[in-house]
Amino acid sequence: MISSSNVTKLIASVNSAGDLARSLAEETAELDALLALLREEQHALQERDVERVYTFASAKSERLARLDALDSSRGRFLRANGLSPDHAGMQRYLERTSGLPAAVSENWRRLLANAAEAHQINAVNGRLIAAQLRFVGGALAALQQVTVDGALPALQRVASLLLCYGADGQTRSAPGSRTLASA
């Protein structure tokens, strides 16, 4: 797995409109890949395929680290151009900068739409996980209750039998009862 500090080193600095265009295209591709992972994760959650769900964790972490690094690089570029490093700053940059390739604005719109979709899918996945945790918790509680309720009479029978035998294995009389020999 790539650490977030290594990811940051892999991301080129955004120093010009051309770098920004390249960076936005890369960020959009990363978000597309994250969306695909989130959709696969959702399918695995719906199928209750726990093994597959576990496989998505590290891939998602790597994508998110890369997206964070790309976002930070874009933010530094916007700050260097006297703008806020957020959505409003990017929108303002697009409005005031003439001659940008159409792909820059298109990638920005697509990035925003995909980020909203990723947020929505992730929220649904979280609800699926919560529902499955409630189901598993309820099933465990039910199994524990059945085990306790079912085992209690058996344990009582074993305990009463043990009370009938002494340490030497010979039968003994329980308090207030006759021995087997006198019966």
pLDDT in tens, 144-181: 676 556 666 665 655 555 555 445 545 455 444 444 44
For residue 93, give both structure tokens. 């940059």
Stretch 23-52: mean pLDDT, rounded?
A: 93
* CATH no., domain 4-137: 1.20.58.300
Supply φ then ψ for residue 138, to 5 degrees: -65, -40
Digit-coded pLDDT (tens) for 59-74: 999 999 999 999 999 9
The residue extents of the domains of the chain are: 4-137
Nearest to 110 by CA among 26, 169, 12: 26
The C-alpha atoms of residue 168 and residue 123 are separated, in whole angstroms, by: 65
Digit-coded pLDDT (tens) for 84-121: 999 999 999 999 988 888 889 999 999 999 999 999 99
**What type of residue sits at position 179?**
T
